[in-house]
Amino acid sequence: MAMSMYQASIPQFVKMLTNLSNILKKGEAFAKEKNIDGAVLVNDRLAPDMFPLSKQVQIACDQVKNGMARLAGIEPPKFDDHESTFEQLQERVAKTIAFAKTITPAQLEDSETKEIKFSIKEWSFEFVGDQYLLTWIIPNFYFHITTAYNILRHNGVEVGKSDYLGG
């Protein structure tokens, strides 16, 4: 007995993206309540050379969309990185959840031994499937969800650990 690649990924990613959506809702409500333009929060960052909230959400989504598509051996949908409002970020998260839900356990069968190759700018990466999930997709996914949470929390939005972990 052990865990399948599907079990170790899709259900928890869908849950965390749903939690992210709820955290973003709290951010949007906070901005409305304080009469702040939501874009102030969407464009905020923890350091001048870090990505803003919008990009944190985009990358968290793309870890799931592109990463799981690679493991499933299918073409991921293309999403433009145009989001500049809470409403648009919600759409991005919703589209990503919808795509993740189309991936089946059968598509991920034996993906733990699949050879994964990709490049980002000038860097090339090579992984075996299970290492790609465990040492790339998962740590990156949680990094960007947590950083999105931290940006809002740092701005005073009342989110807590239970919003992050979900019910």
List of residues contacting a copy of itself (CB under 8 A): 1-5, 7-8, 12, 15-16, 46-47, 50, 110, 112-113, 130, 134-136, 138-140, 142-143, 146-147, 149-150, 153-154, 156, 161, 164-165
Phi and psi (nearest 5°) for 9?
Answer: -135, -75
**Nearer to a copy of itself among residue 77 and residue 105 (C-beta):** 105
**Residue 87 Cβ, how far from a copy of itself at the closest point, in Å?**
25
Asked if 78 and 70 count as a contact pair (C-beta separation under 8 A), the reply is no
**Nearer to a copy of itself among residue 8 and residue 29 (C-beta):** 8
**Residue 106 Cβ, how far from a copy of itself at the closest point, in Å?**
14
**Residue 82 Cβ, how far from a copy of itself at the closest point, in Å?**
23
> Residues, the chain, total?
167
Taking alpha carbons only, the member of 88, 10, 12, 13 closest to residue 79 is 88
For 100, residues 6+ apart whose C-beta sits below 8 A from its C-beta are 10, 13, 14, 17, 64, 65, 68
**Residue 139 Cβ, how far from a copy of itself at the closest point, in Å?**
6
Nearest-angstrom CA–CA distance, 132 and 130? 5
